[in-house]
């Protein structure tokens, strides 16, 4: 049976709230796959009470024992179930749940993974070397490369680099990186989104895409040679575009996906147009993984006002992709 595993992220944030709100709405009856929510039942029972919900979801300790549409799977006890306040002691709980979800999807191709929001800082404070879900999935699956794609009905944005300091971006942009990641994007736009001939708009690294080398030469030395090689391989990718004009209406309408050079180059546009409705999809790995487009939102955890649209779309996407 097809199964979606939900790793709710940090227990202090809205990851548990969103799952409970979807259950309360009866949303999961529209999902074909079974739903396995990873986490300590005490956490969810406490949060449900805090949110004013009155329902029961059964818990299990073995995934193969779950014999109903929806169930909790208790992998490890949550040390601190308090909403709204991060506690680094929970980092092991978060990582154990995430790793279990990844490993389960590796073993069973009928499984998909949906992830809730995490606090990278809190996990690091708990003693882990951690830079994000995407990087953890790449490491855990033994993948050669990985690509983060943020997607909504309005647009899709893939990232050459993800969670690294801006000062390291330029040195990270190589011809090989662009060839590999645009190649992944092109293949998976075809296989996952059924786009026969993807049109990819690639952003330059520097302002005005380097202005012919006057504002930086990475476009001339690295990016344009990579694009020429991709075009020779029959991939429809643009020459480097100036990011400040690349999202105009005409180009938006013509583009299947944008390829941005760093995290905050393309995502502000996507989130301005689609925040709360977009999702994060990990490409280039042998599992299906989707996620929300937002953070832990500590200020509204436990208050019953979190918008569940992104998680709803993440479940729908995972259900369609498995």
Query: By percentage, how much of the chain surpasses pLDDT 70?
Result: 100
Indicate if the pLDDT at residue 40 is higher than 90. Answer: yes
Residues 271 and 302 in one domain: no
For residue 310, pLDDT beyond 90: yes
Q: What pLDDT is attached to residue 155?
A: 93
* DSSP helix/strand/coil, 239: coil
At residue 277 the predicted structure's pLDDT band, cuts being 50, 70 and 90, is: confident
Instruction: Please indicate, yes or no, whether residues 54 and 68 belong to a single structural domain of this protein.
Output: yes
User: Does residue 86 share a domain with residue 38?
Assistant: yes
* Total domains in the fold of the chain: 2
- Among 66-70, 121-125, 225-229, 270-274, the range scoring the smallest mean pLDDT is 270-274
User: Does 244 lie in the same domain as 128?
Assistant: no
Taking 90 as the threshold, does the pLDDT of residue 291 lie above it?
yes
Whether residue 42 is found in the same domain as residue 103: yes
The domain containing residue 22 runs over which residues?
1-143+285-322
What are phi and psi for residue 122, nearest 5 degrees? -70, -40
Mean pLDDT of the chain: 96
Q: What is the pLDDT of residues 150-159, one digit of tens each?
A: 999 889 999 9
Structure tokens at 239: 């020459």
pLDDT confidence tier of residue 135, bands split at 50, 70 and 90: very high
DSSP single-letter state for residue 203: B
pLDDT at 165 over 90: yes
Above 80 in pLDDT, residue 275? no
CATH number at 300 reads 3.40.718.10
Distance CA 118, CA 200 (A): 30
Contacts of 82 (CB under 8 A, 6+ apart): 12
- Distance spanning both ends of the chain, measured CA to CA: 11
Residue 38 DSSP one-character state: E
pLDDT at 276 over 80: no
pTM of the entire structure? Answer: 0.92
Distance between CA atoms of 291 and 186, rounded to whole angstroms?
Answer: 21
Residue range 172-183: mean pLDDT, rounded: 98
Domain match, 131 and 149 both: no
Residue 132, token pair as written in the block: 């994000």
**Beta-bridge mates of residue 290:** 114, 281
pLDDT at 242: 96
Q: Do both 78 and 129 map to the same domain?
A: yes
């Amino acid at each position: 049976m097809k199964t979606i595993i939900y790793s709710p992220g940090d227990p202090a944030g809205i990851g548990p709230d969103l799952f409970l709100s979807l259950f309360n709405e009866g949303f999961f009856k529209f999902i074909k796959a079974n739903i396995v929510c990873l986490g300590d039942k005490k956490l969810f029972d406490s949060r449900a009470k805090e949110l004013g919900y009155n329902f029961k979801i059964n818990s299990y300790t073995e995934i193969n024992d779950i014999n109903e549409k929806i169930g909790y799977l208790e992998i490890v006890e949550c040390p601190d179930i308090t909403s709204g306040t991060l506690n680094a002691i929970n980092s092991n709980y978060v990582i154990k749940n995430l790793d279990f979800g990844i490993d389960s999807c590796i073993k069973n191709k009928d499984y998909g993974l949906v992830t809730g929001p995490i606090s990278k800082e809190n996990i690091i404070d708990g003693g882990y070397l951690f830079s994000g879900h995407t990087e953890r999935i790449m490491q855990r699956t033994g993948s050669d490369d990985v690509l983060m794609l943020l997607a909504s009905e309005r647009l899709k944005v893939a990232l050459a680099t993800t969670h690294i300091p801006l000062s390291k971006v330029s040195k990270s942009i190589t011809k090989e990186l662009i060839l590999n990641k645009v190649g992944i994007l092109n293949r998976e736009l075809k296989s996952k989104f059924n786009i026969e001939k993807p049109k990819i708009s690639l952003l330059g690294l520097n302002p005005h895409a380097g202005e012919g080398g006057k504002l930086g030469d990475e476009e001339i030395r690295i990016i344009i040679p990579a694009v020429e090689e991709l075009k020779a391989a029959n991939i429809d990718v643009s020459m480097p575009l100036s990011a400040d004009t690349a999202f105009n209406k005409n180009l938006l309408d013509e583009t299947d996906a944008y390829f941005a050079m760093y995290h905050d180059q393309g995502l502000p546009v996507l989130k301005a147009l689609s925040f709360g409705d977009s999702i994060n999809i990990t490409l280039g790995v042998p599992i299906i993984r989707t996620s929300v487009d937002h953070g832990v939102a500590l200020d509204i955890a436990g208050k019953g006002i979190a918008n569940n649209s992104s998680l709803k779309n993440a479940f729908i996407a995972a259900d369609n992709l498995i």
